[in-house]
Structure 1
Amino acid sequence: MKEVRGCGMRSSVGFLSRRRLTGHPLLKEEFQRRRLAGCSSLYKKNLLGHFGCVNAIEFSNNGGEWLVSGGDDRRVLLWHMEKAIHARAKPVKLKGEHLSNIFCLAFDSTNKLVFSGGNDEQVILHDVERGETLNVFLHDDAVYGLSVSPVNDNVFASSSDDGRVLIWDTREPPHGEPFCLANYPSAFHSVMFNPAEPRLLATANSKEGVGLWDIRKPRSSLLRYGGSLSLQSAMSVRFNSTGTQLLALRRRLPPVLYELHSRLPSFQFDNQGYFNSCTMKSCCFAGDRDQYILSGSDDFNLYMWKIPKDPEAGGPGRVVNGAFMVLKGHRSIVNQVRFNPHTYMICSSGVEKVIKVWSPYQQPDSMGDLEGRVEDKSRSLYTHEEYISLVLNSGSGLSHDYVSQSIQEDPRMMAFFDSLVRREIEGWSSDSDSDLSEGAILQLHARGRRSTRTSREGADDPSAPASGNSTAGCEVFFFVGHQNKKNLNLTNVFIADDNDASFLNFSCPVLILILFFYLVFPCCRLCIHCLLGCGETTQMTLKKIILLIIINNCNFFGLHKSIISKFS
């Protein structure tokens, strides 16, 4: 028997680690549980196949033999995980392509069908075996979330930017009217059927937070989670495998865990460096007993926390400080994460073109170790000026052309999100110098996170004293590109907050004229600030925003204004 370093247990590496675990299910589960529990890090490997950001990933049911992925390149790719990892097999591209960014995916229970939804306001139903498109379900706005009923593969739910959660039956005519479960003024970013009680669904809304719904009682939620803090921007919600707990992600706040029938949180999970502000992300449970949770972060890392065994420990909303594991290796923001309970593999994706596979077992050509001693060399963040230079030198403005079918890293995309992270941090700092050191960025990240949470909680508490204006930040949704929404081919445009959107009431030529006076006559800047009603953060970024508008032939302005009107 060979000692497996970093795992705290002995294992026959050649017999168990390099083949499928067979035999008694309880022995397999116990082995894998102990293996993961003894690791400080995981082996990692990249899957290459997409030409842009990867916005959605899902494992197949009953073993996770397949992984489906989709993103900015509008393609749905199907990966056979064993062949992709061990034989470098390329993914299968399903024939049905979207007209814009893909945001969500789902398998049916038999793994014979794949549902995909996105920015082109439609859900496509794919046949896995033949790759053909079986049906298309039209929506009125972008589709952010999908969930298939656990008891009826003909029924699925979709959550949309138009503020509706719709229940569809694939046996009905595709142009028929679906059943409307919820209808809010603000966008629904996530929806999921309860795996044990299929009449219940959980949702995450951009303004109304996390809610529980009964399909028999539409238009009114059964429960609004969060207590006095229920009105929070929520972007993802997931049930555990037994349907007794919900995990949710909120903007600028730590992940939160709820018991199904309690509106008060059981636990919140935090760690120095973790932050969720610049992009839309998802979360998931992990472990054979859902004893862990996973979430990506703006600091390019993937975080895993262990759920305390006693839900009453520490009282409602207790903060679990300190992640069980921090997985390092991504080179930009991590948005999506999924766990396979059968193989203990984790897949994550985001701004990069890669899907990263994490495992407690060493795979062919995998990197890293189980102790976290081997780390990838970190890269330096691009500055705002470097990003603008990359845009100017690209010759294509803000749009991205995926015709070249390149799987290589895109510096312009990386720089765009680096710029968002810097802008968020500079909003917390009185120093607007964009050349902050990496150490200073992390310090400001933590400081800004604490101040943001304090002000947010104070705002939700009627008894809290009034505070000054909160710092305006940027919120990123899976958008960007041209005025025609169906031809968007870049991901995640930043959206000004309410306090910073007043300057968008001006026409584009007037903005260009204002920009001219702003740059040429410094003495006019104070008057311009007063005229536009801009906050401090907008003053720092106004000329950059308008410059990007000009670069993209003013088409970006029309889209930018429409997005702000929907999300602000």
Structure 2
Amino acid sequence: MSSDASKETTEERAVMSDTPAGDSGGAAATPEPARSEAGSDRDSDDATRARRGSGEPAAPGDADSSRAEADEPPTSPPADGSPSEPMEAAGSEGARESTPPVGDGETASNEDDDDDIGLGFEARLSSSSPDSDSEMEYDEAALSAALADMKKKAEDVMQKPRPRHTWSLVRELHKRQLGGRPALLQQDRFRLHLCSSLHAVERLELMDKLCFHEGCVNCLHFNSSGDLLASGSDDLNVVVWDWQRQRKAYSYNSGHKSNIFESKFVPQRSDTHIVSTSRDGQVRLAEISPAGECRSVRRLAQHRGSGRKLALPAHSPQTVLSCGEDAVVFNIDLRDRQPDRLLECMDNGKRIPTNSIACHPDNDNVFLLACIDKYVRVYDRRMIGSEQSAYRRLCPHRLLDDGRGRYSVTCAVFSYNGAEIVASYNDDDVYLFDAAHSDGADCVHQYSGHRNSATIKGVNFYGPRSEYIVSGSDCGNIFFWDKNTEAIVQCMPGDEKGVVNCLEPHPHMPVLATSGLDDDVKLWIASRDQPQDLSWVQETVQRNLQERVEETPSADSLGGSLMWTLMQQVFGAQRRARHQLFSNELDLQSSDESDDADDGPTPGDCRTS
């Protein structure tokens, strides 16, 4: 025992002094620069070997133990500056100092970073304990299983049965020519059947881009006749488009101080009044002359947080409902100077901020809120303030016990007759509810394949009788699902910067207006000669599902929740900085070009940021 210990001590001194070593007889150790206090090093080495022989755990300060636990090839050079050579990770009696093999007859070089990565991985494999080997095998198996699961889900989404084609041009023309009682009904039936047909959805293609805004377009709204389209943007302007002529009708400064999130025509006002809300929390009303000049803009209400969305009851043209991040819903009568505080969204004594609001198309007393939690709340304003519950909560049951992420409803709307509700959840799918179901009811349909994470996505019905579901996606595509079969029937690239947020179907024609992170408004019309080939959609769906799993923070993880909040703050800061950049550029242009008042971009031309 004494001769072996003396032999090992002599070898380790030789390594420290950069002289070739003999038999190592143990695990490899990282060479260190030689020290002047040789006696101190020798005592430390003897004490370390004594503990190893007795089975006592190594002290935290021992150099040999820390190097053995590092599981990495040595990288520190000797004291004289000559390059060091890594020793074998696992040796035996007579093993010499050499570079560990990476493959058959191949050696790794410390000067190549890629080889160092491979060297470290091979060293970890060769020196790992049985427990670490089993963990690595488990991780690889879990990764392979997750990828296989994503592929299987994508295949299941794409294999859902597609609806049958039920529309025939010859048959519909024949019915229209024969007429009926009354003849106007036959004309209307022809239009309804065309707009609701799978034929029209499959042939949607980009018609035109409406360019004038200098920021992200956050909201779209057709007037009741469908000949005008209003859009609001981060540039604080509201633009009204004559979309059929593909030009701007007029625009005005909204008076808001931050990003516009909603702008809508007030019904039964001859399209001369537009109400809007924005990040500054204000709800403002603009009065427009028939010639397109803004006569006045006044404030109707003020939220304490960001204003989100507006709702206009179908049979109450003087009423506007607004919701915001302060969880308050205002009932605004345009004839009054002060709004009424209708309710504050609460759950177990806690305020629940809201993302969107929508009114029932036939009953002005019923409206819904898409809240920043897992529930869609359906209210009856006649019950507000009474002892009975004023609302019903709807949520997919699969999300109630799911702790993978912080789910919230980004948008929810009624169908054309109010019988159904479609809701989009962040980092999850789109769900369809029966509006007549009781409190706590489950969804009746689930639509998968898109990605809802980066922004607050909208969702909508498409078709005169709400035959389809349409939503934007973080991948930049627009997804159409058949409402009954849940199959993807159309998918179109809808945004060059990668995110589609707003989708506004035309009230009477097979036309769709969309917007996102791009500065323009895109119009889609059913004019394609043949249906689009959707063979590429499965790969997109699989990628969206995989990114959802990889990026969704765990609700049980403080780090994940904190990162989620930080990302939301960073995204908002980027948008505000972009708006400030636009404002500075406009101020600079106005100061440098004050001689020419008509020097701005003409309607229909894109302004560069």
TM-score of Structure 1 vs Structure 2, range by shorter chain:
0.5 to 0.7
Distance between the aligned counterparts of 1:189 and 1:198, measured in 2?
A: 20
Residues 1:247 and 2:436 are matched in the alignment:
no
Query: Residues 481 and 473 from structure 1, CA distance in 2 versus in 1: closer, same or farther, beyond 3 angstroms?
Result: closer
The answer to whether residue 434 in structure 2 is matched with residue 259 in structure 1 is yes
Counterpart AA for 1:81: W
Is 1:198 equivalent to 2:350 in the alignment? no
How many correspondences in the alignment?
Answer: 383
Larger CA Rg, structure 1 vs 2: 2
Give the SS at the match of 1:98: coil
2:328 aligned residue: 164
**SS of corresponding position for 1:52:** coil
Give the Å deviation of 1:170.
1.6
Residue in 2 that maps onto 1:142: 306
Aligned partners of 1:100 and 1:489 also within 8 Å = no
Among 228, 231, 245, the residue aligned to 1:83: 245
Is contact 2:202–2:489 with CA below 8 Å preserved after alignment? no
Alignment of 1:200-279 (within 5 A): 200-218=366-384, 221-226=390-395, 228=397, 232-262=407-437, 263-271=441-449, 274-279=450-455
CA shift digits 1:203-244 (9 cap, x unpaired): 011125311011123375421101545764011111111111
Q: Deviations over 1:334-384 (max 9, x none)?
A: 0110101312110110100011100003xxxxxx76433699xx9xxxxxx
Unaligned runs of 5+ in 2: 1-166, 177-183, 401-406, 583-609
Q: Secondary structure, in 3 states, of the residue corresponding to 1:97? A: coil
Specify the SS of the correspondent of 2:213: coil
Helix, strand or coil at the partner of 1:166 = strand
Query: 2:546 matched to which residue of 1?
Result: 447
Quick one: structure 1 residues 452 and 182, their matched pair in 2 at CA, closer, same or farther if it must change by over 3 Å? same
| Aligned with residue 292 of structure 1, among 426, 449, 468 | 468
Spell out, residue by residue over 1:170-209, the C-alpha distance to the aligned partner (whole angstroms, 9 max, x if none): 22214x5533353552321100111111111100111253
Could you say which residue in structure 1 is the equivalent of 2:531?
371
Give the Å deviation of 1:486.
12
- The aligned counterpart of 1:104 is 262
Q: What secondary structure sits across from 1:216 in the alignment? A: helix
Q: In the aligned structure 1, how far is the partner of 2:250 from the partner of 2:516?
A: 20
Match of 2:316 among 152, 175, 184: 152
Of 256, 265, 286, the match for 1:126: 286
* Distance (Å, rounded) in 2 between the aligned partners of 1:37 and 1:44: 14
Q: Could you tell me how far apart the structure 2 residues matched to 1:244 and 1:370 are? A: 33
Q: State whether residues 166 and 182 of structure 1, in contact with CA within 8 Å, keep that contact through their aligned partners in structure 2.
A: no
Q: Determine if the alignment matches structure 1 residue 281 to structure 2 residue 447.
A: no
1:52-91 deviation line (CA, Å, top 9, x unaligned): 1001111112x3111100011010111122222xxxx224
- The normalised TM-score by structure 1 is 0.60
Q: CA RMSD in A?
A: 3.8
Q: Give distance in 2, aligned partners of 1:214 and 1:51.
A: 40
Q: Is the 8 A contact 1:182 1:218 kept in 2?
A: no
Deviation at 1:150, TM superposition (A): 1.4
Is the 1:101–1:118 Cα contact (8 Å) retained in structure 2?
yes
Q: What amino acid maps onto 2:334 in structure 1?
A: T
- 1:283 CA displacement: 1.0
Change (3 A) 1:180 1:42: same
1:179 aligns with 2:342: yes
Distance 1:486 1:159, change over 3 A: farther
Q: Distance in 2 between matches of 1:186 and 1:38?
A: 37
Is there any run of 5+ residues in structure 1 with no aligned partner, and where? 1-6, 309-319, 362-367, 379-438, 460-465, 492-568
Matching residue of 1:117: 277
Q: Which amino acid in structure 1 is aligned with residue 190 of structure 2?
A: L
Change (3 A) 1:255 1:328: same
- 2:111 maps to none
